Amino acid sequence: MRIVPSVCLAAVAAGLLVLPWSAAAQSFLAPPPAGRSSQPDTTALQQQIDQLKKEFGERIAALEAKLAEAQVAAPTPAPPPEPAAPAQPSAASGAKFFNPDTAVIGTFLGTGGRNAINPSPALEMPESEVSFQAIVDPYMRADFYLAFGEAGVELEEGFATLTALPGNLQAKAGKMRAAFGKVNTLHNHVLPWADRPLVINNLVGGEEGISDAGVSVARLIPIGNVFFEATGQVFRGDAAEGELYKSSKPGDLSYVGHLRGYVDLTESTNLDLGASYSQGHNAAGIVADVDIGRFTTELFGVNATFRWRPLTRAIYRQFVARTEYIRSHRDQFDGVQKADGFYVSGDYQFARRWWLGGRLDQSGRADDASLLDRGQSFLLTFMPTEFSKVRGQYRRTAYADGPTAHEFLMQFQFAIGAHGAHPF
Amino acid sequence: MLKRLLIRQTLSFLFLMLLAPAIASAQLKVVATTEDLGSLASEIGGDRVSVTSLAKGYQDPHFVDPKPSFILAVSRADLLIVVGRELEVGWLSPLLTSSRNSKVQPGSKGYLDASLTVRILEIPTGQITRAMGDVHPLGNPHYWLEPGNGRRMAQAIRDKLGELSPNDKTLFAQRYADFDQRLAAAEKRWDAAMAPYKGTKIVTYHRSWPNFMERFGLEVMGYVEPKPGIPPSPAHTIDLIGEMKRQGAKLIVVEPYFDLRTPQAIANQASGKVLVLAPSVGGSKEAGDYIKLFDYDIGLLSGTLKQLTGK
């Protein structure tokens, strides 16, 4: 009587195997038949399939014959038979076509060590940048960057770029980072350091920098193989929350002018040079909310970037040297303070995911040129992919008016969403 | 008398100066993002076009710097030909925006995405995330490495050039027909050279070769990269060596811009060989144009497979 259970098992197994198949076949190929017997169904199905095969084969043969004729007849043959134009990107469902490219870049920062002058919290999430970018119409594109701090949201940049102007011109309107020098134009996540250089903090308004509502016009001036771009910008006149520029009247506009020259030295080396000027009203003359001094600040800057990236080894080796010199003429009650400063930095990529860097800093203070701060930094950056990076920075800062600070910064960055352009 | 001569000379010189741009502009200025597209544009356009290619054939086309010198080239272009499928996603957009050239913006007459009429492989289905590495949501963009697609790209370029320069339409059609014939003849050569190795299993570094290997009948059984764009990891390398031994794969094809150390170590373990092939025109000195690219690659590939398989 052992046979019975094994027969039962076999029957159940067969049922399990056949059931899903026949169910699927039924739902696919034909309306469910009235009868319950499955044997005739399979034969019918087989016949249908054979019929289809035959018809299909005939049609293909006919098509091939036609094509052969056409190829003989026409001097330029029609596109080859097999798979013509592939189906277009199925990824976007209709409603999403015009959504802007969206990305979020998170920056997490840990700081250890001692700094009596300018202390930082041990752990913070100083910025999460959300970007929306899209083409508006045939004449312009729009770029929005919202910076989410731990406490609030700020419009870091939001502007339209007119891309179809004649005469090699390009105009922008909105809130934007001004084209003063190099570092001022860069967002935090593309900086080669976890912080901004001293000269930027002391003279150009630090992290926020010159970032204001205004209009910008830039002209491309090609001279042979040298790229020149001249930019003129007018802003409302507020920068770095009034620390750099402060507009007390609607007429207190600030101005930025920039000239950039770029040349390829060889296919793997290039030189990027810039000269900048900026002017605006400062807050030094404001007494009891009234600007009685009417003082202004003038900024002058030059910057140079040298890059080496051998093309065949581009993903493994790279060297970038950057320097920027800035001079500030700040008018105030005790006369014009003429402070200046610079940074020199080098970054070397020594493996696919690893970078080594160093930076020298020196800068006077905008409101007291006699105070000179100096700093040195060493950096090691690990980039698992182009969408994340971990960076350690040792920073020594010798302040003019306090104890020397030794700090260790640990920065962790991660990006999701649309693939942005590589920084250059 | 002398004075008059001088004036006449000056005037004629000025006249020539005025004419010079007109003569120059009779040529269509074509900018191609890669040398493959540039080579095809030269095949079809001949002396009616001047072609500038941005990325070099020996550099990784995913990681190209958007240099201002490229902005200059795009700003002067009458036609911009791109590979598309997000190959240039990291560097083309800033070039387009800064070029101030409305003729070549996407959607304009002077913008040609060469991928729209070709056969694309590896189009992902279902959910994709970057946990899969650097996946291309619109399919594998290395589609130019297949003569059938080369022909389709050349057709698209022929049609576009004819649209931009209607007077030369017949010329472009003739040049295409000539290219088509040479390509067809070459294909016979390549097929014959590769015929003995049909079904041979190989490994490639990146997923640059699906169209090429499918066309010439080789089976890619693994990649040196654990996921697209992710550098080799020890665990994956060990797995790959085991898998190559099990399946008898002996050849590792590497693009010229990748480090050879890991592929070499894998090949040593699997008693195989590393072969650097040109993934693009210009990827090696001998791969000077679209047809020579295949001549070079097929020559090396069939030679090495002969050594390895003894066929």
The answer to whether residue B202 is domain-embedded is yes
Q: Is residue A27 one of the residues assigned to a domain?
A: no
Determine, for residues B93 and A421 on separate chains, whether the beta-carbon distance falls below 8 Å: yes
Least confidently predicted of A196-210, B7-21, B57-71: B7-21
User: How close, in Å, is residue B119 to chain A by CA atoms?
Assistant: 6
The answer to whether the CB atoms of B148 and A82 lie below 8 A apart is: yes
Percent of chain A with pLDDT over 90: 74
Compare A46 and B242 and report the one with higher pLDDT: B242
| Closest Cβ–Cβ partner in B75, B97, B130 for A141 | B97
Does residue B200 carry a pLDDT above 90? yes
Is the Cβ of A424 closer than 8 Å to some Cβ of chain B? yes
Could you tell me if B128 and B202 lie in one domain?
no
Domain end point (choices B186, B217, B232): B186
Under 8 Å between Cβ of B150 and B40: yes
**pLDDT band, residue A30 (cuts 50/70/90):** very low
Q: Is residue B269 assigned to a domain?
A: yes
Residues B74 and B90 in one domain: yes
How many cross-chain Cβ pairs, A to B, lie less than 8 Å apart? 125
CB contact under 8 Å between B100 and A165, yes or no, is: yes
User: Do residues B110 and B225 share a domain?
Assistant: no
- Which of B87, B97, B170, B259 would you mutate first to test chain A, the one with the most A CBs within 10 A? B97
Is B107 within the bounds of a domain?
yes
Nearest to A422 among B56, B90, B148 (CB): B90
Q: Is residue A72 part of a domain?
A: no
For residue A87, is it within any domain? no
Among B90, B120, B180, select the one facing A86 at the smallest CB separation.
Answer: B120
SS3 A136: strand
- Give dist(CA B279, CA B254) in Å, integer: 9
Closest CA to B114 of B165, B64, B149: B149
**Eight-state DSSP code of residue A423:** P
Q: For B129-144, how does the pLDDT look when each residue is reduced to its tens digit (9 = 90+)?
A: 999 998 899 999 999 9
Question: CA-to-CA distance for B113 and B87, rounded, in angstroms?
Answer: 11
CATH number at residue A300: 2.40.160.10
Residues in contact with A210: Cβ distance below 8 Å, sequence separation at least 6, in sequence order? A177, A178, A180, A184, A204, A235, A239, A240, A244, A245, A254, A256, A278
A363 lies in a domain?
yes
pLDDT at B3: 60
Radius of gyration of chain B, Cα coordinates, nearest whole angstrom: 23
Which pLDDT band holds residue A422 (cuts at 50, 70, 90)?
A: confident
Positive or negative, the CA dihedral B60, B64, B69, B73 is positive
Contact A202, A363 (CB under 8 A): yes
pLDDT at site A41: 53
> A86 to chain B: which residues are within 8 Å by CB?
118-120, 123, 139
> For A215-267, what is each residue's pLDDT tens digit?
999 999 999 899 999 999 999 999 999 999 999 999 999 999 999 999 999 99
Q: How many CB atoms lie within 10 A of CB A95?
A: 7
Same domain, B168 and B29: yes
Q: What is the pLDDT of residues A177-225, one digit of tens each?
A: 999 999 999 999 999 999 999 999 999 999 999 999 999 999 999 998 9
pTM: 0.83
Q: Is residue B9 part of a domain?
A: no
Residues A377 and A395 sit within 8 Å (Cβ to Cβ): yes
Neighbour-count burial for A237-255, b at 16+ CB within 10 Å, e otherwise:
bbbbeeebbbbbeeebbbb
Q: How many domains does chain B have?
A: 2
Q: How does residue A69 score in pLDDT terms, banded at 50, 70 and 90? A: low
Residues 6+ apart with CB under 8 A from A112: A122, A407, A408, A410
Is residue B1 predicted with pLDDT exceeding 70? no
Domain-embedded: residue A204: yes
Cβ–Cβ below 8 Å for B71 and A82: no
CATH code at B154? 3.40.50.1980
Domain that holds residue B29: 19-186
Q: For position A424, what pLDDT does the model report?
A: 82
Q: Is residue A306 part of a domain?
A: yes
Q: Is the pLDDT of residue A35 over 80?
A: no
Are residues A313 and B257, on separate chains, in Cβ contact within 8 Å?
Answer: yes
User: Does some domain include residue B252?
Assistant: yes
Q: What digits encode the pLDDT tens for the residues A353-376?
A: 999 999 999 999 999 999 999 999
Domain boundary among B135, B154, B186: B186
Same domain, B216 and B114: no
A1 touches chain B (CB under 8 A): no
CA distance B278 to chain A (A): 12
Give the model confidence (pLDDT) of A297-339 as tens digits. Answer: 999 999 999 999 999 999 999 999 999 999 999 999 999 999 9
Q: How many Å lie between the alpha carbon of B257 and the closest alpha carbon of chain A?
A: 5
Residues 6+ apart with CB under 8 A from A76: B158, B173, B176, B177, B180
A417 CA to chain B: closest CA distance, Å?
9
Residues 344-363 of A with CB under 8 A from B: 352-353
Asked whether residue B161 falls in the same domain as residue B35, the answer is: yes
* Across B173-202, average pLDDT: 97
The residues with which A405 forms a beta bridge, in sequence order, are A397
Residues of B in contact with A353 (CB under 8 A): 231
Q: Which residue of B has its CA nearest to A218?
A: B98
Query: What domain range is A328 assigned to?
Result: 166-412
Position B110: which residue type?
Answer: G
Cα B236 to the center of its chain, rounded Å: 29
Give the SS3 label for residue B92. Answer: helix
Asked whether residue A75 is domain-assigned, the answer is: no
The reply to whether B29 and B169 lie within a common domain is yes
| B94 in the same domain as B230 | no
Task: Indicate whether B1 belongs to any domain.
Answer: no
Pairing of strands B28-34, B49-55: parallel
Choose the weakest-confidence range: A276-285, B76-85, B122-131, B261-270: B122-131
pLDDT at B24 over 60: no
B45 versus B23: which is more confidently predicted? B45
- How many of the other CB atoms lie within 10 Å of CB of B166? 9
- Cα–Cα dist B300/A284, whole Å: 73
Work out the minimum CA distance from A149 to partner chain B, whole angstroms. Answer: 26
pLDDT of A405 > 80? The answer is: yes
Of the residues B170, B186, B202, the one at which a domain ends:
B186
Strand order in the sheet with B49-55: B49-55, B28-34, B79-82, B111-113
| Residues B200, B83 within the same domain | no
In a domain, B13, yes or no: no
Closest-CA residue to A240 (of A401, A366, A327): A366
Q: Which chain B positions have a beta carbon within 8 Å of A387's beta carbon?
A: 130
User: What average pLDDT score do residues B78-89 get?
Assistant: 97
B151 and B46 within one domain = yes
A316 and B94: CB-CB below 8 Å? no
Q: Cβ A227–B69 below 8 Å, yes or no? A: yes
**Which two three-digit tokens encode residue B98?**
């800064």
To the nearest whole number, what is the mean pLDDT of chain B?
A: 93
Are A212 and A254 in contact by the 8 Å Cβ rule? The answer is yes
Tell me how many domains chain A contains: 1
Is the backbone of residue B100 left (phi > 0), alpha (psi -120 to 50) or beta? Answer: left
Cβ separation B90–A421 shorter than 8 A? yes
> What ipTM score was computed for the predicted complex, to two decimals?
0.88
Non-local CB neighbours of A193 within 8 Å, separated by 6+ positions: A345, A357, A359, A377, A379, A391, A393
Residues B133 and B225 in one domain: no
Q: What percent of chain B has pLDDT over 90?
A: 88
More confident residue, A39 or A203: A203
Q: Could you tell me the pLDDT band of residue A44, with boundaries at 50, 70 and 90?
A: low
> DSSP 3-state assignment of A292?
coil
- B202/B269 same-domain check: yes
Q: Quick one: average pLDDT of B171-182?
A: 98
A74-101 mean pLDDT:
54
Rg of chain A taking only CA atoms, in angstroms? 33
Q: What is the pLDDT at residue A249?
A: 94
